[in-house]
Amino acid sequence: MTKRIPVVEKIMSANDRVAAENRAHLDAACVYSLNFMASPGAGKTSLVERTIQGLQDRLRLAVINGDIATSLDADRADAAGAVKSVQINTGGNCHLDAIMLQDAMPQLTLGEIDLLIVENVGNLICPSNFQLGTHKSVLVASIPEGADKPYKYPGIYRGVDVLVINKIDLLPYVPFDMDYFRRGVEALNPGLETFALSCKTGEGVNAWLDWVANEVEAERQPSVW
Ligand code: MG
Ligand code: ZN
């Protein structure tokens, strides 16, 4: 039984090595990248669509979609106006890893894009255990999921750089204790950058778009030190 732990560590470090290669590749091309994670149905693809539609005058955007079986989400990114969308069919696998991303990247011409969004498989557990090499990870939570999710899935809330709370248009109709939710988040990830918005109505989306545009701009600037 005790032999299992080193094997897992080896797999993880191989993943981290490839993730570092992915990052170097993106940095060399001045492409900023985000990893979207969420439970199924929280609105990752809707946020991809809003982000493309809101930024396509300012940025060239590509999407890599991880999906267990279909290309529906990649089709939506195409329809929204992505420069390019690439489907990774995980063949039943419940998360993306750095090697899958590395295998997909040659389908992109990095010199033609400013921002790469990776839409991970809908799952609150293991995607957070696999670094992809993206610059920041974004967790999309949503009001109908309930306010207890930070307490039930602490690993993913602890590990992300940004939180988007989607579907705030449903707050009047769904019991959701925002204070309880935010206290749970704050305990796991103090000061986490958070955007509350509705991809459906557009409320709150501009603050998110400005944040993304600023992040991309910072990646384009040569480092001062
Ligand atoms: Mg999706
Ligand atoms: Zn998994």
**Is residue 72 predicted with pLDDT exceeding 70?**
yes
Report the separation in Å between the CA atom of 164 and the middle of ligand 1, taken as the mean of its atom positions: 15
**Is residue 70 predicted with pLDDT exceeding 90?**
no
Q: Which residues surround ligand 2, an ion (CB under 5 A)?
A: 94-95, 126
**Is residue 53 predicted with pLDDT exceeding 80?**
yes
d(CA 104, CA 209): 26
pLDDT of the residue at 94: 94
**Is residue 18 predicted with pLDDT exceeding 70?**
yes
d(CA 186, CA 190): 4
pLDDT of the residue at 222: 62
pLDDT of the residue at 170: 98
Q: What are 108-164's pLDDT values in tens digits?
A: 999 999 999 999 999 999 999 999 999 999 999 999 999 999 999 999 999 999 999
d(CA 140, CA 122): 10
pLDDT of the residue at 108: 95
- Phi, psi dihedral angles at 21 (to 5 degrees): -65, -40
Strand order in the sheet with 84-89: 84-89, 61-67, 115-119, 32-38, 136-142, 162-166, 193-196
Structure tokens at 81: 């106006």
Beta-carbon contacts of 110 under 8 Å, excluding residues fewer than 6 positions away, are 25, 26, 29, 31
What is the Cβ-side half-sphere exposure of residue 74, based on CA atoms within 13 angstroms?
17
Please provide the average confidence, as pLDDT, over all residues in the chain.
93
CATH of 4-219, one of 3.40.50.2000, 3.30.230.30, 3.40.50.300, 3.30.450.40: 3.40.50.300
Q: What are 149-160's pLDDT values in tens digits?
A: 999 999 999 999
Q: What are 24-35's pLDDT values in tens digits?
A: 999 999 999 999
Report the separation in Å between the CA atom of 44 and the middle of ligand 2, taken as the mean of its atom positions: 17
6 — alpha (psi -120 to 50), left (phi > 0) or beta? alpha
How long a stretch of residues is the chain?
Answer: 225
For the chain, give every domain's residue range.
Answer: 4-219
Mean pLDDT of 63-73: 89
Tokens 């993106």, residue? 26
| Model confidence, pTM | 0.92
pLDDT of the residue at 1: 52
Q: Which one of the ligands is nearest to 130 CA? A: 2
Report the separation in Å between the CA atom of 201 and the middle of ligand 2, taken as the mean of its atom positions: 32
**Is residue 67 predicted with pLDDT exceeding 90?**
no
**Is residue 4 predicted with pLDDT exceeding 90?**
no
Report the separation in Å between the CA atom of 76 and the middle of ligand 1, taken as the mean of its atom positions: 9
